[in-house]
């Protein structure tokens, strides 16, 4: 039986819960939010939706003890309004720090020993803090990291080349934030390096388009939900089905002692292994800058 818990039932948590129910991917959902009335409303809305679905998902709300035998716990609690108009994820840090510190003891008391998937921003700092406070093995605590940013890169490149984004390979590295960067040395179109496909591309402009895609998703709504929830769904499926797919997620890199977005194989054990692609000199310097920003944010919590 597949059981998944979700902590935080705002825009992302609710979209994720609805997607899991409509896909019939799990047998049971445990939904938890600080606002009990919100949790009740989400439960009843999902139950109504299931009347029209071919599969049924059992739903339990507001019960940390029900997490004990869950395979995955998705942590997406936060306060999106803290970002302000500029989308700076670090503005959420003090609020999300308090949420983590309040929630982790309850997670540990529940007996949960599965895999934690964190979406909460600033993603790389919070996933690292969750790992430190829970004491779980780093392989069992994963952040969505630059998985969404990599999707935005593929969308931007596909749009520029008028080709389906499914034909684009490659990864965005570093912080899920302003210091992220496209590792163009890893990007391919079909089986060809991107510049072999088109030497006239302005890669610097495309890099800006990737960041701009995130801002456009956020600016008109004040939040994003569909893209990041789809990332979480893919990650959950990878873990439950043990697919061992390579994605760019926020994972712990022992060589740098930092969580950041980089390619990793994800399977039933969480992070199965890291994939090392050779980065060029510019990309290495961009990565070092991004790691410094993540490390500085984490040191504010320790």
Known binding residues: 8-13, 33, 119-121
Tell me the β-bridge partners of 192. 189
| CA 192 to the chain's CA centroid | 28
Cis check for the bond before 122: say yes or no (omega within 30 of 0): yes
Range list of H helices, the chain = 11-23, 36-50, 93-110, 123-134, 147-161, 194-197, 203-219, 226-240, 281-299
Q: Sheet harboring 28-32: ordered strands across?
A: 58-61, 28-32, 3-7, 72-75, 115-118, 141-143, 245-253, 258-267, 270-274
Binding-site residues from annotation for NAD(+): 8-13, 33, 119-121
Marked catalytic residue, from 3, 154, 176, 211: 176
Specify burial of residue 28 (Cβ count, 10 A radius: 0-12, 13-18, 19+): middle
b/e per residue 132-141 (b: at least 16 CB within 10 A):
bbbebebbbb
2 assigned to active site: no
Which residues are identified as catalytic? 176
């Amino acid at each position: 039986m597949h059981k998944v818990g979700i902590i935080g039932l705002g825009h992302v948590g609710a979209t994720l819960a609805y997607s899991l129910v409509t896909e019939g991917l799990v047998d049971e959902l445990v939904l938890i939010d600080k606002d009990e009335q919100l949790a009740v409303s989400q439960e009843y809305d999902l139950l109504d939706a299931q009347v029209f679905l071919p599969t049924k998902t059992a739903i339990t709300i507001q019960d940390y003890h029900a997490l004990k035998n869950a395979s995955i716990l998705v942590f997406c609690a936060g306060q999106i309004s803290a970002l302000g108009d500029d989308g700076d994820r670090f503005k959420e840090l003090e609020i999300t720090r308090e949420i983590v510190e309040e929630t982790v003891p309850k997670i540990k008391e529940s007996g949960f020993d599965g895999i934690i998937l964190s979406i909460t921003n600033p993603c790389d700092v919070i996933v690292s803090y969750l790992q430190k406070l829970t004491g779980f093995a780093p392989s069992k605590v994963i952040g969505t990291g630059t998985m969404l940013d990599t999707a935005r890169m593929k969308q931007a490149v596909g749009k520029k080349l008028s080709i389906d984004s499914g034909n684009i390979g490659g990864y965005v590295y570093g912080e899920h934030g302003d210091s992220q960067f496209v590792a163009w040395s890893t990007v391919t179109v079909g089986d060809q390096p991107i510049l072999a496909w088109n030497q006239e591309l302005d890669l610097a402009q495309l890099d800006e388009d990737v960041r701009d895609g995130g801002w456009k998703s956020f600016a008109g709504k004040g939040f994003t939900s569909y893209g990041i929830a789809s990332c979480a769904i893919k990650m959950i499926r990878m873990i439950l089905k043990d697919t061992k797919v390579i994605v760019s997620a926020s994972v712990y890199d022992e060589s740098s002692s930092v969580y950041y977005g980089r390619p990793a194989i994800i399977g039933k054990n969480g992070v199965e292994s890291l994939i090392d692609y050779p980065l060029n000199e510019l990309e290495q310097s961009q990565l070092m800058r991004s790691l410094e920003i993540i490390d500085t944010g984490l040191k504010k919590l320790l």
